[in-house]
Amino acid sequence: MSSRFPDFRLEAHYARWEFTAKYNLAASDLETLRISDLLAMASDEDREGFEQLSLGYTPTWGGDELRAEIAATYDSLSADDVLVFAGAEEAIFWAMQVLAGPGDHVIMTVPNYQSMETIPLASGAQVSGVLLDSSDGWSLDLDMVRAAWRPNTTLVAVNFPNNPTGALPDPETWRALVDLCAERGARLFSDEVYRGLELDRDRTLAQAADLDPTAISLNVMSKSYGLAGLRVGWIASRDHRVLEQLERHKHYTSMCNSGPSEALATIALKNGEAIRARNRDLIRNNLPVFEDFFRAHQDMFEWSPPAGGCVTFPRYLGPDGVEAMTTGLVEEAGVILLPASLFRSDLAYVADDRFRMGLGRNDAEDALQAFDAFLRR
């Protein structure tokens, strides 16, 4: 492996435990559907089209129907404003290299998904972190964004609803950030993969690509749709010059997506609101179970539910520390949690007493019972 990129800490941890542990209580996605569930939602025409699909190459940009369905999830975009990738990670991998390099300065929210900061740093860009305020619901302070700004700031990268905290800025702060980037001539890159899971629908933010012609919105079928196995993600923007650059870079990685995955993603998007409503109900129904667990162990944890998305970032107060607790939990009880060390940042200090927890799986109650029994032992 090239020394250009360090180990991806979170993914290396999952490679060890995700398919061997009994419970994934740190899952960042929703309980998924089966192919039969998706096909049951399909029209007769779409179902027949899937069954008769030729297993050849697909267009590098993504199929026309898929891109049209993706564009329909935005207020002001067309299919021409969409470039499809093999998951969100491929999109991040290329966007962070195309949009920032030597001589450029990037401002980025922390905590974040590791590749968001690792790739521009490895590409030679200067990167500054703006730490979300854990004492105020992981809020975004625009004064800190302004303080981090430099004459060569070309990119501001954010992730809302945030992974791992579940945080959301209020709509006024969000709009002010978009305006700040536009006024100062920097591009906004917005990771929006959890959008649509807000239990308070009034908190759902407008998508960046709708708000500014140079902004970029990232999304994927994995998170709010719960269809990670399709490996279909996308970037949306009205800046076609950037989309064309990214499309040429995609030739070096996936080249094109899986045809069956694109067909199934198209069916899912046609039924997107029903799927997201099902997923919001799953989170809503799981919340009381998590609240009961943390109430029973209030001397050991500080916790608040996510404002958006399906993940949260509680604090562990035990004297053994979060690393020992999460290691013992997975080794002895078969329950995965992700310690704060996996979200360590080179840009700002992420407190080391926290861990990521997911609220979106059907077996959450059983996993919490196993967690409870471990703590009582």
Chain centroid to CA 359: how far? 14
Structure token digits, residue 173 = 């702060």
Question: Is residue 292 situated within a structural domain?
Answer: yes
The predicted pLDDT at position 2 comes to 42
Q: Are 165 and 144 in contact (CB under 8 A)?
A: no
> 263 with 280, same domain?
no
pTM: 0.96
Question: Is residue 49 situated within a structural domain?
Answer: no
Please tell me what DSSP assigns to residue 224. Answer: S
Please give the C-alpha separations between residue 223 and each of 29, 231, 238, 352, in angstroms, as whole numbers: 5, 11, 24, 25
The predicted pLDDT at position 305 comes to 97
Three-state secondary-structure class, residue 374: helix
The predicted pLDDT at position 4 comes to 76
Structural domain containing residue 315: 9-35+273-376
Residue 376: Cβ within 10 Å count: 8
Structure token digits, residue 163 = 């992974």
- Give the type of residue at 191: D
> 181 with 286, same domain?
no
Domains in the chain: how many in total? 2
The predicted pLDDT at position 15 comes to 87
The full length of the chain comes to 377
> 83 with 137, same domain?
yes
What's 321's domain CATH number? 3.90.1150.10
Three-state secondary-structure class, residue 136: helix
- Give the type of residue at 145: V
Question: Is residue 46 situated within a structural domain?
Answer: no
Instruction: Give percent helix, percent strand, percent coil of the chain, each to the nearest 5.
Output: 45, 15, 40
> 140 with 218, same domain?
yes
Please give the C-alpha separations between residue 88 and each of 196, 210, 222, 309, in angstroms, as whole numbers: 16, 19, 8, 16
Please give the C-alpha separations between residue 312 and each of 104, 111, 114, in angstroms, as whole numbers: 32, 12, 17
The predicted pLDDT at position 166 comes to 97
Please tell me what DSSP assigns to residue 22. Answer: S
Beta-carbon contacts of 278 under 8 Å, excluding residues fewer than 6 positions away, are none
* β-bridge pairing 233-236 and 82-85: antiparallel
Structure token digits, residue 281 = 């109900």
Question: Is residue 199 situated within a structural domain?
Answer: yes
The predicted pLDDT at position 10 comes to 86
- Helix (H) / strand (E) element for 261: namely helix 259-270
> 236 with 265, same domain?
yes
Q: Quote the CA–CA distance of 229 and 67 in Å, as a whole number.
A: 19
Q: What are the 10-residue block averages of pLDDT along the chain, 377 residues in total?
A: 72 88 96 97 97 96 98 98 97 97 97 94 96 96 98 98 97 98 98 97 97 98 97 98 98 97 98 98 98 98 97 97 97 97 96 97 97 96
* β-bridge pairing 23-24 and 338-339: unpaired
> 278 with 344, same domain?
yes
Q: Of the candidates 270, 290, 308, which is a domain's last residue?
A: 270
The predicted pLDDT at position 17 comes to 86
